[in-house]
Amino acid sequence: MALIGRGKFEKALTIIDRIAEQPLADAQVRQVGQWLTAYEVMRAERSDRIEADYATYVGWVKEDLARAAEDSNKAWWLQAVKDTSKAYNSAPDEQDFRASPWLQEVVDGAIAAAGAYESDGEWYKAAGIYIHLSDVFPHNKEYRAALDRCQAHIQLEYAYTPEADWKTEVVNIEPQMARDAFRKISGEHIKIPDFRAMAVSALEQVLRMAEEPKLTEVFEAMADPDNVRMFTSRVQVYLRKAEREEQLTCGQLIEIFDQVLKINQETQLIRPQSVLIREFVSGALRPLDKYTDMLWPVDIDEFNKQTQGKFSGVGIRIQKMPNGPIKVISPLEDTPAYLAGLQPGDLVTMIEGEPAKKFSIRKAVNAITGEPGTYVRLTIRRPTTKEEFDVRLQRQVITIYTIKGFARDEHGKWTYMIDPENKIAYLRLTNFTETSTDELREAITGLLAEGMRGLIFDLRDNPGGTLKAAVEVANLFLENDMLIVSTKDRHGKPWEVSASGQAHFSDIPIVVLANTVSASAAEIVTGALQVHKRALIVGERTFGKGSVQQVLQLNTTPPAYLKL
């Protein structure tokens, strides 16, 4: 079993086969042998499929190159780099793949096409090329920087359109929030911040916004070329000055921020000012790491909902269809929406008599949620029956349950005992909230009463959550004083948390399922159970976040937070 736990399946199978040949070998040994044999057959079949896929993808790339030679359309290079990425992910050896004689031709043509796409303002297509180049060459900083540049343009185009709800998103953003965030980064970030890089990136983001032609539909002052030139020329002075400096201090970054606000006040180019503050900060945070982020005033309710696992509303997950109605993804069980009979696929066409197609997703959520005890009227169209009807739903406090089973029974309740004969249970934890530990404890207690002998604990696609919840979940399965998580600050000072108190379920056999999306708190739990040999981990390499974040409240009114 130790060999199986280390992934040495062939060696384990050899030993099991020898034991199974003995007269006294029991049924469990033979069962394990059958499982391992089936696994080896499956693995061999998978290897054959991957080898065949690789040959297919390489053939596609060569076809793309032939078409690109005959046709000047740069779309062939986008297709070629897409197929190259597929081939790379099926290649038996990465180094041999990168030595392929046709690869350099793909790279040269794709880079030229990406540059042409950028010149034409086709940022999505340029980003598509850089995404696949970054996949094949993950350590190439130039491809990553180019992808970041394209994504910054895409985010601007998406965020500021006549249909977008950006005015709501920037409400109550004040300059002091940025200043306080920069000071907290100076003292609290895991690494000593490069304030020069932050200043350069912030100024580049401001210039990127001012020079983006598509934003003239939203910001009327940007339609005046002279006004844009006046703004950008003055901002460029500070950019060139920052680029000449070897380093900058936090105070100097704040001075640059204040000067940019002053230039904008005098030119009135980007109004309201809160938009400029948000974009300056967005650019400034980019050089730090991909996790540091701001929680502006409008973001706080949604953040609390995700971490606390509770909110006041009617209990439906929704998706906004472009220029159309709002689609119900699913009603949460035992909520007003669920009890009213709303179904997945239902379309919300009206909210309190207003056409839903006018609402952004944020505006729709704000309109549907509200104080407990109040009501909201929704007009629903059911595509399956073509009927349209109104429902009047009373808002209540909704608990977002994070523990799921493998299927629902005829009453809509989760089923956990995936193998009733052998008493093997399955629990999936979707994310870590303040209620997760109590949910997990309750579910396991009930399963033990049913005679559970083993647990499959699914953390696949779990993006994480609060550190407190991660520690509490791991604590359920570990003996006293077993280390759960440890960190070091920028000065090397350690901080760690170990299991404490009496473990509730320290003897249940556990298999943890994980994949490339399992991140943050999910990785803490998975790692702790693996290190202490408390669980067998099955699946894929996890996301690899490698850091613990804290949420710092800024000294501002209204409140805002920095995720650091």
> CA-CA distance, 261 to 211, in Å (whole number)?
17
pLDDT above 70 (res 355)? yes
Average pLDDT, integer, range 162-172 = 90
Domain boundaries 310-399, corresponding CATH code: 2.30.42.10
pLDDT above 90 (res 322)? no
Beta carbons within 8 Å of 193's beta carbon, 6+ residues apart: 185, 186, 250, 288
Beta carbons within 8 Å of 277's beta carbon, 6+ residues apart: 170, 173, 174, 175, 177, 178, 261
- The pLDDT value given to residue 301: 86
175 and 261 in contact (C-beta within 8 Å)?
yes
Average pLDDT, integer, range 69-83 = 95
Average pLDDT, integer, range 194-199 = 98
> CA-CA distance, 398 to 334, in Å (whole number)?
9
- The pLDDT value given to residue 548: 82
Tell the residue number behind the tokens 């399955």, with chain if given: 426
- The pLDDT value given to residue 113: 97
- The pLDDT value given to residue 522: 96
Annotated domain spans of the chain: 50-157, 174-291, 310-399, 403-539
335 and 396 in contact (C-beta within 8 Å)?
yes
**Domain covering 50-157: architecture:** Alpha Horseshoe (1.25)
Average pLDDT, integer, range 129-147 = 95
Tell the residue number behind the tokens 């499959």, with chain if given: 456
78 and 110 in contact (C-beta within 8 Å)?
yes
Residues 359-418 have pLDDT tens digits of 888 888 889 999 999 999 999 999 988 899 999 999 999 988 899 999 988 877 899 999
- The pLDDT value given to residue 462: 94
- The pLDDT value given to residue 389: 95
H or E stretch at 539: strand 536-539
- The pLDDT value given to residue 506: 87
Average pLDDT, the chain: 91
Return the CATH superfamily for domain 403-539.
2-enoyl-CoA Hydratase; Chain A, domain 1 (3.90.226.10)
Please report, as a single letter, which amino acid is at residue 1: M
Average pLDDT, integer, range 11-40 = 71
Decide whether 50-157 matches 403-539 in CATH topology: no
pLDDT above 90 (res 259)? yes
Residues 404-451 have pLDDT tens digits of 999 988 877 899 999 999 999 999 999 999 999 999 999 999 999 999
33 and 25 in contact (C-beta within 8 Å)?
no
Q: pLDDT-based confidence at 36, cuts 50/70/90?
A: confident
Token pair listed for 452: 């559970």
Q: pLDDT-based confidence at 4, cuts 50/70/90?
A: low
Q: What does pTM read for this prediction? A: 0.83
User: Among 87-96, 299-308, 377-386, where is mean pLDDT lowest?
Assistant: 299-308
